[in-house]
Structure 1
Amino acid sequence: MIGHELGGRYEIIERIGGGGMALVYKAHDILLGRNVAIKVLRQQFVDDEEFIRRFRREAQSAASLSHPNVVSIYDVGQEGEIHYIVMEYIEGFNLNEIIKDRAPLQVEESVRIAAQICDALDHAHQNQIIHRDIKPHNILIGRNGRVKVTDFGIARAVTSTTITQTGSVLGSVHYFSPEHAKGVITGEKSDLYSLGIVLYQMLTATLPFLGESPISVALKHLQEEFDDPRGVNPLIPQSVENIILKSMRKNPSERYHSAKEMLKDLDTCLLPERRNEPKIQFAEADADQTRAMPAIKSMKREASYSRAKKLFDEDDDDDNKIEDKRNKKWVRPTLWITLTLVILISMAGVIWYVNNKLVVPEVTIPNVINLQEDIAVAELTELGIVIEDPIIRTYKEDFEEGVVYDQSKKEGTVVKAGSVIRLFVGTAKPLAVMPEVKGKTFAEASEKLIALKVKKDNISENPAYSDEPPGTVIGQEPEADAKFNAETVEVILTVSKGKETFDMPDLVSMTRSKAESEIKKVGLKLLGVEEESSFKYEKGLVTRQWPYDAKSTVSIGEEVKIFVSTGYPPEALNYTFNLPVAPVEEGKNSKIRIEYSDARNDDGEKKEWGTKTVKSTQVFSVDLVLAPNKDAVVILYRDGVFFDTYTISYVDAKNGSVPDVFVPQEDPVPPTSEEDLEIIPDPGDVNPEDTTTMLQSSSKDKAPKDKPDKSKKGNKGIVKTSKKP
């Protein structure tokens, strides 16, 4: 097994223990990345249905418990002929190893360990589970001191009526309770008796009952008293000895009534006021006196002899009288002899009749368990055994329908022909009804299904979008009221993820028809369409969307409203700005780039008009849209260098008073005196009613005296801009 990967996820590392029924390995859970302990049924038992049932029962018993002092069960599986249980791995030792290594243990440590075992038993008993095999070998002590109870291999429900399996008593004989040894009903108090022995062994390093054979030890549990713990170890406080004495009483009614009661005693026994309490006393039962009773047969024989003697004495007296009177001695003896012979012959005849007519032959009861009902009935009828009517028919786990799972008289019992036997026949497993779990949370639905014995691993979640709150069950398979087998059913619960969400698409600048199509495509609803004028967007284009902006989170089915442009507002003014440009040097190429912004750029972003290469002076037309509160700006670059900025106001354009623009010079010369330029006010400061003045060079302008004449290399002057009303 070492190195084997069990179940596709458990890599066996090493063997760490084992018992009569199973071997225990340390393994690594590849899926969850943790170490686990795996108990594997021994190979010699893989074909034994009884051992397999016990093995499965261990997992079922322990898995139903959830307590810090009980080893947790993680998984149960079968791979081929390998039956295994995956459980919590405890780093540490079992109590038996600790006792062998350093017993007797300190009183405080022993009481602490016993209290944790008792706490685990209290939890198990509350869940109707009796362990039935409490012993140091089944108590694990972690490195942190935590006590863990394990090995529920022979645990049974409280309603069990026997502790025997296939003719043998289960459990460990040194830790048996008296009722356990007798094979009668065992309950919670049997576990407490075994715990008392464990506490006794921890404190004294010995067992209370020892013998040469298991039978002799079992008889001592039934008949003999054990040595007081303090007689073996005087360091044991009287309060602790009292707990051992009470838990190990042969009469269950004199023991603790529950594990909780014993736990309370363990929690307080080391308090200063209790350590030296008086020794516990128990009422002694009156011994039955043995009386010599005369044997019934002997009494009857003596009475018959007396009556016969008296009768014959009386007859002799009569014969003597007759003999005296008639002198016929031979008559009466002859009569009695004849009568005796007749009686003897009659008795012989009766004996012969009884032997031949009334004596019923004896038969041995066969084992008909696991046989089909009709075969079992035929076999018993052939032997002359009468089948009690009606046959008991109930569901029995591990038995198929129509198969005998029990019989009132056990195999090997000798009975008279004609005796009655009761048969118990299995039926099909009753199917449960699937409850309605829609509207519940997944956790609530799972809890309800697990209560109906549905395996947790067989309940799966299928997330789906819906209008229901997230986490709500909106569908189930099988449907409510359907019949199902709890052991095999696969339940699929459809759980709401809430409404489906996605990023809102950007509808702005789309045409109306395209925007409506996009809204429908993503599963939204069109709340309405509203028209509005816009400088930025041409007629027919979407100007904005409400209430969800682009890239905001939106759910399917939500409503969206769009606004569509009707074109520029009435006050908008279309204006063509004629911009003269010239190369740096006439006849040589210069690259001219123009940017602009107008009422259509409400965010101040500049638009690219274009780039041109010129060799001579030219005029480029820039089409602008002006608004009362938004001036247009044209920016000129020459050979990649910023050249100038031109502002066109709405008022100037409307009044036809936009200033004329100079033709760019090759190398503009800054003015040398105020006489060279006529300074005019900024157009923004001019009253619209006034005549707009222009910044222009003087008609008498000449090149400065200290500068060479550059008239041959470039042009200068005024270019009047065209105006549109």
Structure 2
Amino acid sequence: MIYWTAGQTIQNEKYIIEDIIGEGGFGITYRIKEQKEGHILALKTLNYKSQKRYNFAKLQEDFLNEALSLAKCSHPHIAQVHRVFQEEGLWCMVMEYIDGDNLHDYLENNGILSQNEALRIIRQIGEALTFVHEQGFLHRDVKPLNILLRRQGLDAVLMDFGLGREFTQGQKRTHTYSLRECFAPLEQYELQAERGTYTDVYALAATLYYLRTGKEPFPASFMKEANISLQPPKQHNFQIADWEHEAILKGMKLEAKDRPQTIKAWLELLKEDRDALRSEKGVDYRQLRNYLRAGNWKEADEETKRVMLKAANREDRWLDRKSIDNFPCTDLRTIDQLWVKYSNGRFGFSVQKRLWLKVGGKIDWETECLLGDWVGWRVNGEWENYDELTFSLKAPEGHLPSRTFSLAVAGGRFFSRVETCKV
């Protein structure tokens, strides 16, 4: 049996094993270094248990098919395969190394995601799945554990095509029974059943359910046998918008015919009301949207100051402690969703809150300074003047909206309110 440890070399010393970075039911993934160029890569192969199984030859064949499937899928949100080779008779796949956490661990560490964060990830994985389907493949194992978030930028990457199979819409095929029950649709419990793009629709909708509630949905087989319905996601998180709630429920219909039939059709349901300019205080956010849509970042930043003061019913330049602690959550979400949407996820209060949590999430001056360093509000230990800020997409992540309310953000009080409002 083949099992490598740190320091071993393979492929005539072309690669050196650095560490094990993951192991599942069938496979194991190592972090490796290409010695000549110094590149850090990932190497995936069948694990020790699989090598002892009676059907090892079939598992090898399936593994090779996974590599070939992935090699056909060149997409920014799919892990890239560089080469496939045999080492001591064991098929190996050298892949792009993704520095980051899987979505399950990210949620464990950060709590349920805001609507903007969750939908950005779901759309990215939806784009990847649409591309996979266009190549004639199903993924069949979409779940938080198989989605990695790059540490830099938190872009989502779809992993683990071990269950990926070719399909013909509407035709019955015999497929391996191997699944994560809470994210698998009813048809995947049958060895022979019609499967189509709607199969991955269910799993992606179930993933959104998890991101927005922190709860794994009931397994489809359990709901069928017990004749019960899916627990509504709003039951776990009342902040979920009606249109988002409806999209999750439609994507997770037990019967395949009742679901949107393609990823693209399901994602259309998540476009509804994306620019709903809601306000608890009657604030008009159309001008802010227009500035952001046009990429007029400085004007949008100044408009953000104006509308926030109006929403807080403050006539001077500042938000005081009371107005921060009582700032209307609906208005915070509206402002944030506009910034996140039109900056492609680079700017917004939810982005700044995530970075604030990363540097400690405390309500003190030291944390505020660390955040300032991270987002570019401070340079070489000095706070930048307003005119020295960068009003473009080249600015550091979280740079905008700017630190314009010194009393609002000092010590992290403002981001504590953002956290409370689940933005």
> Of 154, 162, 173, which aligns to 2:173?
162
Are 2:20 and 1:15 equivalent residues in the alignment?
A: yes
| Alignment correspondent of 1:129 | 137
Partners of 1:11 and 1:25 in 2: CA distance: 10
| Alignment correspondent of 1:241 | 245
Question: Identical aligned pairs, as a percentage?
Answer: 29
> Of 180, 190, 193, which aligns to 1:172?
180
- Alignment of structure 1 residues 526-675 onto 2, 5 Å: none
1:106 deviates by: 1.1
Are 2:267 and 1:258 equivalent residues in the alignment?
A: no
Partners of 1:53 and 1:73 in 2: CA distance: 17
Partners of 1:115 and 1:204 in 2: CA distance: 18
Partners of 1:49 and 1:220 in 2: CA distance: 36
Name the CA shift for 1:158/1:274 in 2 (closer, same or farther; >3 Å).
farther
Are 2:3 and 1:3 equivalent residues in the alignment?
A: no
Name the CA shift for 1:260/1:137 in 2 (closer, same or farther; >3 Å).
same
TM-score by length of 2: 0.60
| Alignment correspondent of 2:221 | 218
Which is strand-richer, 1 or 2?
A: 1
**1:120 alignment partner, SS class:** helix
Name the CA shift for 1:115/1:274 in 2 (closer, same or farther; >3 Å).
farther
> Of 83, 86, 91, which aligns to 1:78?
86
Partners of 1:127 and 1:273 in 2: CA distance: 38
| Alignment correspondent of 2:206 | 197
Partners of 2:260 and 2:110 in 1: CA distance: 29
Tell me if the contact between 1:174 and 1:218 (Cα under 8 Å) persists in the aligned partners. no
| Alignment correspondent of 2:51 | 46
Partners of 1:60 and 1:274 in 2: CA distance: 48
Partners of 2:178 and 2:173 in 1: CA distance: 10
Higher relative contact order (CA 8 A, sep 6+): 2
**1:170 alignment partner, SS class:** coil
Aligned-partner residue type, residue 222 of structure 2? L
> Of 219, 225, 229, which aligns to 2:233?
229
Partners of 2:272 and 2:132 in 1: CA distance: 22
Partners of 2:128 and 2:117 in 1: CA distance: 17
Partners of 1:178 and 1:204 in 2: CA distance: 22
Name the CA shift for 1:50/1:148 in 2 (closer, same or farther; >3 Å).
same
Aligned-partner residue type, residue 103 of structure 2? L
Aligned-partner residue type, residue 254 of structure 2? K
Aligned-partner residue type, residue 16 of structure 2? E
Q: Larger Cα Rg: Structure 1 or Structure 2?
A: 1
| Alignment correspondent of 1:480 | none
> Of 92, 100, 104, which aligns to 2:108?
100
Tell me if the contact between 1:196 and 1:248 (Cα under 8 Å) persists in the aligned partners. yes
Tell me if the contact between 1:163 and 1:185 (Cα under 8 Å) persists in the aligned partners. no
Equivalent residues, number? 266
**Residues 518-546 of structure 1 deviation map (CA, whole Å, 9 limit, x = unaligned):** xxxxxxxxxxxxxxxxxxxxxxxxxxxxx
> Of 33, 37, 41, which aligns to 1:36?
41
Aligned-partner residue type, residue 151 of structure 1? D
> Of 100, 104, 118, which aligns to 1:110?
118
Name the CA shift for 1:221/1:95 in 2 (closer, same or farther; >3 Å).
farther
Name the CA shift for 1:31/1:267 in 2 (closer, same or farther; >3 Å).
farther
**Residues 537-564 of structure 1 deviation map (CA, whole Å, 9 limit, x = unaligned):** xxxxxxxxxxxxxxxxxxxxxxxxxxxx
Name the CA shift for 1:59/1:65 in 2 (closer, same or farther; >3 Å).
same
Aligned-partner residue type, residue 49 of structure 1? A
Tell me if the contact between 2:213 and 2:236 (Cα under 8 Å) persists in the aligned partners. yes
1:269 deviates by: 4.8
Which is helix-richer, 1 or 2?
A: 2
Tell me if the contact between 2:243 and 2:270 (Cα under 8 Å) persists in the aligned partners. no
Tell me if the contact between 1:239 and 1:274 (Cα under 8 Å) persists in the aligned partners. no
**Residues 69-99 of structure 1 deviation map (CA, whole Å, 9 limit, x = unaligned):** 1110011111114321111101110001012
Q: Which runs of 5+ in 2 are unaligned?
A: 280-423
Aligned-partner residue type, residue 146 of structure 2? N
Partners of 2:272 and 2:174 in 1: CA distance: 34
**2:194 alignment partner, SS class:** coil
Q: Which runs of 5+ in 1 are unaligned?
A: 211-216, 276-725
1:268 deviates by: 4.7
| Alignment correspondent of 1:394 | none
Partners of 2:271 and 2:81 in 1: CA distance: 28
